[in-house]
Protein backbone atom coordinates (compact mmCIF):
# COMPACT_ATOMS: atom_id res chain seq x y z
CA UNK A 1 0.00 0.00 0.00
CA UNK A 2 1.31 3.44 -0.92
CA UNK A 3 0.81 5.38 2.32
CA UNK A 4 1.14 8.65 0.40
CA UNK A 5 -2.46 8.11 -0.71
CA UNK A 6 -3.51 8.73 2.92
CA UNK A 7 -3.32 12.15 4.55
CA UNK A 8 -2.92 12.42 8.33
CA UNK A 9 -4.55 15.59 9.64
CA UNK A 10 -4.77 17.53 12.90
CA UNK A 11 -6.96 20.37 14.11
CA UNK A 12 -4.23 22.77 12.99
CA UNK A 13 -4.15 21.48 9.39
CA UNK A 14 -7.76 20.29 9.06
CA UNK A 15 -9.00 23.29 7.09
CA UNK A 16 -6.27 22.86 4.45
CA UNK A 17 -6.33 19.05 4.42
CA UNK A 18 -10.10 18.72 4.18
CA UNK A 19 -12.07 21.89 3.51
CA UNK A 20 -9.70 23.54 1.04
CA UNK A 21 -8.78 20.25 -0.63
CA UNK A 22 -12.48 19.42 -1.11
CA UNK A 23 -12.82 22.42 -3.43
CA UNK A 24 -10.91 20.49 -6.11
CA UNK A 25 -11.41 16.79 -5.24
CA UNK A 26 -13.91 14.85 -3.12
CA UNK A 27 -12.51 14.12 0.34
CA UNK A 28 -13.30 11.10 2.53
CA UNK A 29 -12.52 11.70 6.23
CA UNK A 30 -12.03 8.82 8.62
CA UNK A 31 -12.41 9.80 12.28
CA UNK A 32 -10.60 7.12 14.28
CA UNK A 33 -8.35 6.52 17.31
CA UNK A 34 -5.48 4.16 18.20
CA UNK A 35 -7.46 2.60 21.05
CA UNK A 36 -10.52 1.87 18.84
CA UNK A 37 -10.56 -1.78 17.73
CA UNK A 38 -13.33 -1.30 15.11
CA UNK A 39 -11.25 1.57 13.65
CA UNK A 40 -8.23 -0.71 13.36
CA UNK A 41 -10.39 -3.35 11.66
CA UNK A 42 -11.62 -0.80 9.11
CA UNK A 43 -8.17 0.70 8.42
CA UNK A 44 -6.97 -1.89 5.83
CA UNK A 45 -10.15 -1.43 3.77
CA UNK A 46 -9.72 2.35 3.80
CA UNK A 47 -6.11 1.95 2.70
CA UNK A 48 -7.29 -0.29 -0.14
CA UNK A 49 -9.93 2.25 -1.23
CA UNK A 50 -7.40 5.09 -1.01
CA UNK A 51 -5.19 3.23 -3.47
CA UNK A 52 -8.06 2.09 -5.71
CA UNK A 53 -9.54 5.59 -6.00
CA UNK A 54 -6.27 7.54 -5.94
CA UNK A 55 -6.61 10.72 -7.99
CA UNK A 56 -10.41 10.67 -7.81
CA UNK A 57 -10.90 10.81 -4.05
CA UNK A 58 -8.59 12.07 -1.30
CA UNK A 59 -8.62 10.09 1.96
CA UNK A 60 -7.88 11.95 5.18
CA UNK A 61 -7.29 10.22 8.52
CA UNK A 62 -8.41 12.26 11.53
CA UNK A 63 -7.28 10.81 14.85
CA UNK A 64 -9.86 12.15 17.32
CA UNK A 65 -7.17 12.54 19.98
CA UNK A 66 -5.55 15.15 17.74
CA UNK A 67 -8.72 16.44 16.00
CA UNK A 68 -11.08 17.11 18.88
CA UNK A 69 -12.28 20.41 17.43
CA UNK A 70 -12.93 18.88 14.01
CA UNK A 71 -14.74 15.93 15.59
CA UNK A 72 -16.98 18.36 17.48
CA UNK A 73 -17.70 20.39 14.34
CA UNK A 74 -18.66 17.20 12.49
CA UNK A 75 -20.83 16.03 15.45
CA UNK A 76 -18.88 12.78 15.75
CA UNK A 77 -20.63 10.70 18.43
CA UNK A 78 -18.85 7.40 17.81
CA UNK A 79 -15.96 6.02 15.83
CA UNK A 80 -15.11 4.94 13.26
CA UNK A 81 -17.08 7.70 11.53
CA UNK A 82 -16.61 8.40 7.84
CA UNK A 83 -17.74 11.56 6.06
CA UNK A 84 -17.66 12.59 2.41
CA UNK A 85 -16.96 16.28 1.79
CA UNK A 86 -17.31 18.18 -1.48
CA UNK A 87 -16.75 21.94 -1.75
CA UNK A 88 -16.54 22.22 2.02
CA UNK A 89 -19.93 20.57 2.64
CA UNK A 90 -20.73 17.12 4.00
CA UNK A 91 -22.52 15.15 1.29
CA UNK A 92 -22.45 11.59 2.64
CA UNK A 93 -21.40 9.49 5.61
CA UNK A 94 -20.98 6.05 7.16
CA UNK A 95 -20.89 4.96 10.80
CA UNK A 96 -19.06 1.97 12.25
CA UNK A 97 -17.34 -0.93 10.54
CA UNK A 98 -18.71 -1.68 7.07
CA UNK A 99 -17.99 -4.27 4.41
CA UNK A 100 -15.62 -3.78 1.50
CA UNK A 101 -18.52 -3.57 -0.95
CA UNK A 102 -20.40 -0.95 1.12
CA UNK A 103 -17.23 1.12 1.37
CA UNK A 104 -16.53 0.81 -2.36
CA UNK A 105 -20.09 1.95 -3.19
CA UNK A 106 -19.56 4.92 -0.85
CA UNK A 107 -16.36 5.88 -2.69
CA UNK A 108 -18.14 5.55 -6.03
CA UNK A 109 -20.81 7.95 -4.78
CA UNK A 110 -18.06 10.39 -3.86
CA UNK A 111 -16.56 10.13 -7.36
CA UNK A 112 -20.02 10.83 -8.78
CA UNK A 113 -20.42 13.81 -6.44
CA UNK A 114 -17.09 15.19 -7.66
CA UNK A 115 -18.09 14.73 -11.29
CA UNK A 116 -21.38 16.52 -10.60
CA UNK A 117 -19.61 19.53 -9.07
CA UNK A 118 -17.15 19.67 -11.97
CA UNK A 119 -20.00 19.53 -14.49
CA UNK A 120 -21.92 22.27 -12.69
CA UNK A 121 -18.87 24.53 -12.84
CA UNK A 122 -18.55 24.09 -16.62
CA UNK A 123 -22.21 24.32 -17.66
CA UNK A 124 -21.79 27.75 -19.23
CA UNK A 125 -18.18 27.47 -20.44
CA UNK A 126 -18.38 23.89 -21.77
CA UNK A 127 -22.03 22.76 -21.85
CA UNK A 128 -21.24 19.73 -24.04
CA UNK A 129 -18.95 18.28 -21.36
CA UNK A 130 -21.50 19.02 -18.63
CA UNK A 131 -24.25 17.38 -20.70
CA UNK A 132 -22.13 14.24 -21.14
CA UNK A 133 -21.63 13.99 -17.37
CA UNK A 134 -25.31 14.48 -16.55
CA UNK A 135 -26.39 11.99 -19.21
CA UNK A 136 -23.96 9.44 -17.77
CA UNK A 137 -25.32 10.01 -14.27
CA UNK A 138 -28.92 9.67 -15.46
CA UNK A 139 -28.10 6.47 -17.34
CA UNK A 140 -26.93 5.05 -14.02
CA UNK A 141 -29.84 6.51 -12.04
CA UNK A 142 -32.77 7.88 -14.11
CA UNK A 143 -34.34 9.44 -10.97
CA UNK A 144 -31.29 11.52 -10.06
CA UNK A 145 -33.00 14.90 -9.62
CA UNK A 146 -29.85 17.07 -9.31
CA UNK A 147 -28.57 15.52 -12.55
CA UNK A 148 -31.91 16.21 -14.25
CA UNK A 149 -31.78 19.85 -13.19
CA UNK A 150 -28.17 20.04 -14.35
CA UNK A 151 -29.17 18.53 -17.69
CA UNK A 152 -31.78 21.26 -18.06
CA UNK A 153 -29.31 24.02 -17.23
CA UNK A 154 -26.61 22.67 -19.53
CA UNK A 155 -29.12 22.15 -22.36
CA UNK A 156 -30.22 25.75 -22.01
CA UNK A 157 -26.60 26.92 -21.98
CA UNK A 158 -26.08 24.97 -25.22
CA UNK A 159 -29.10 26.68 -26.79
CA UNK A 160 -31.31 23.58 -26.62
CA UNK A 161 -34.44 25.17 -25.18
CA UNK A 162 -36.57 22.18 -26.20
CA UNK A 163 -34.65 19.68 -24.05
CA UNK A 164 -34.49 22.12 -21.13
CA UNK A 165 -38.27 22.56 -21.36
CA UNK A 166 -38.81 18.78 -21.44
CA UNK A 167 -36.67 18.40 -18.33
CA UNK A 168 -38.65 21.11 -16.53
CA UNK A 169 -41.98 19.55 -17.59
CA UNK A 170 -40.81 16.22 -16.16
CA UNK A 171 -39.83 17.86 -12.88
CA UNK A 172 -43.07 19.84 -12.64
CA UNK A 173 -45.14 16.68 -13.19
CA UNK A 174 -44.31 15.72 -9.57
CA UNK A 175 -46.29 18.72 -8.31
CA UNK A 176 -43.38 20.68 -6.85
CA UNK A 177 -40.00 22.10 -7.78
CA UNK A 178 -36.74 22.30 -5.84
CA UNK A 179 -35.17 25.79 -5.53
CA UNK A 180 -32.64 24.97 -8.28
CA UNK A 181 -35.46 23.73 -10.51
CA UNK A 182 -37.29 27.01 -9.87
CA UNK A 183 -34.13 28.81 -11.01
CA UNK A 184 -34.13 26.70 -14.18
CA UNK A 185 -37.77 27.69 -14.74
CA UNK A 186 -36.84 31.37 -14.40
CA UNK A 187 -33.96 30.99 -16.86
CA UNK A 188 -36.33 29.35 -19.34
CA UNK A 189 -38.72 32.25 -18.84
CA UNK A 190 -35.91 34.65 -19.71
CA UNK A 191 -35.02 32.60 -22.78
CA UNK A 192 -38.65 32.53 -23.94
CA UNK A 193 -38.79 36.33 -23.79
CA UNK A 194 -35.51 36.71 -25.65
CA UNK A 195 -35.78 39.29 -28.46
CA UNK A 196 -34.72 38.32 -31.95
CA UNK A 197 -31.53 39.79 -33.31
CA UNK A 198 -27.82 39.89 -32.58
CA UNK A 199 -26.64 41.16 -29.21
CA UNK A 200 -23.77 43.12 -30.75
CA UNK A 201 -26.10 44.86 -33.18
CA UNK A 202 -28.59 45.65 -30.41
CA UNK A 203 -25.82 47.13 -28.26
CA UNK A 204 -24.72 49.31 -31.20
CA UNK A 205 -28.30 50.56 -31.59
CA UNK A 206 -28.44 51.32 -27.86
CA UNK A 207 -25.15 53.22 -28.03
CA UNK A 208 -26.68 55.38 -30.77
CA UNK A 209 -29.90 55.85 -28.78
CA UNK A 210 -28.93 55.51 -25.09
CA UNK A 211 -32.12 57.03 -23.68
CA UNK A 212 -34.47 54.56 -25.36
CA UNK A 213 -35.93 52.51 -22.46
CA UNK A 214 -37.56 49.89 -24.68
CA UNK A 215 -34.29 49.22 -26.47
CA UNK A 216 -32.46 49.14 -23.15
CA UNK A 217 -34.84 46.44 -21.89
CA UNK A 218 -34.33 44.39 -25.06
CA UNK A 219 -30.57 44.48 -24.56
CA UNK A 220 -31.01 43.65 -20.85
CA UNK A 221 -33.07 40.57 -21.76
CA UNK A 222 -30.39 39.39 -24.17
CA UNK A 223 -27.67 39.95 -21.58
CA UNK A 224 -29.65 38.01 -18.98
CA UNK A 225 -30.24 35.12 -21.38
CA UNK A 226 -26.49 35.06 -22.03
CA UNK A 227 -25.83 34.81 -18.29
CA UNK A 228 -24.49 38.37 -17.96
CA UNK A 229 -26.77 39.08 -15.03
CA UNK A 230 -25.05 42.11 -13.55
CA UNK A 231 -25.03 43.90 -16.89
CA UNK A 232 -28.70 43.04 -17.36
CA UNK A 233 -29.56 44.26 -13.87
CA UNK A 234 -27.72 47.54 -14.42
CA UNK A 235 -29.62 48.17 -17.65
CA UNK A 236 -33.00 47.26 -16.15
CA UNK A 237 -32.32 49.36 -13.05
CA UNK A 238 -31.47 52.35 -15.26
CA UNK A 239 -34.89 52.01 -16.91
CA UNK A 240 -36.65 51.82 -13.53
CA UNK A 241 -34.80 54.95 -12.39
CA UNK A 242 -35.51 56.93 -15.55
CA UNK A 243 -39.17 56.08 -16.19
CA UNK A 244 -42.47 56.28 -14.33
CA UNK A 245 -45.66 54.25 -13.98
CA UNK A 246 -46.35 51.36 -16.32
CA UNK A 247 -43.25 52.10 -18.43
CA UNK A 248 -41.00 50.84 -15.64
CA UNK A 249 -42.89 47.55 -15.13
CA UNK A 250 -41.06 45.50 -17.80
CA UNK A 251 -37.72 46.46 -16.25
CA UNK A 252 -38.94 45.74 -12.71
CA UNK A 253 -40.31 42.34 -13.72
CA UNK A 254 -37.12 41.47 -15.57
CA UNK A 255 -35.09 42.20 -12.43
CA UNK A 256 -37.41 39.96 -10.40
CA UNK A 257 -36.98 37.16 -12.97
CA UNK A 258 -33.21 37.52 -12.69
CA UNK A 259 -33.40 37.37 -8.86
CA UNK A 260 -35.29 34.07 -9.19
CA UNK A 261 -32.66 32.77 -11.58
CA UNK A 262 -29.68 33.59 -9.38
CA UNK A 263 -28.60 31.30 -6.51
CA UNK A 264 -30.17 32.22 -3.18
CA UNK A 265 -26.81 33.30 -1.76
CA UNK A 266 -25.80 35.42 -4.76
CA UNK A 267 -24.52 38.84 -3.62
CA UNK A 268 -26.12 40.35 -6.72
CA UNK A 269 -29.58 39.51 -5.41
CA UNK A 270 -29.22 41.40 -2.16
CA UNK A 271 -27.44 44.35 -3.77
CA UNK A 272 -29.91 44.86 -6.60
CA UNK A 273 -33.01 44.19 -4.49
CA UNK A 274 -31.93 47.12 -2.34
CA UNK A 275 -31.25 49.27 -5.41
CA UNK A 276 -34.62 48.36 -6.92
CA UNK A 277 -36.46 49.17 -3.69
CA UNK A 278 -34.66 52.51 -3.48
CA UNK A 279 -35.57 53.35 -7.09
CA UNK A 280 -39.22 52.43 -6.59
CA UNK A 281 -39.82 54.02 -3.20
Residues taking part in catalysis: 36, 39
* Alpha carbon distance 165, 185 (integer Å): 8
Amino acid sequence: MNKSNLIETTDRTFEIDVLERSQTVPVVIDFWADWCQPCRALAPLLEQMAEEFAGDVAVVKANTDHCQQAATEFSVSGIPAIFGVVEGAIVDGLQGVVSEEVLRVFFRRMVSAGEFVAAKRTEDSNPAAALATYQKMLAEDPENVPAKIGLGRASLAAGDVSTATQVLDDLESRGFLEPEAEQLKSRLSLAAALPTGDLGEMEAQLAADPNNPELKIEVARMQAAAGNFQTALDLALAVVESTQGDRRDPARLLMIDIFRTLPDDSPLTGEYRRKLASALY
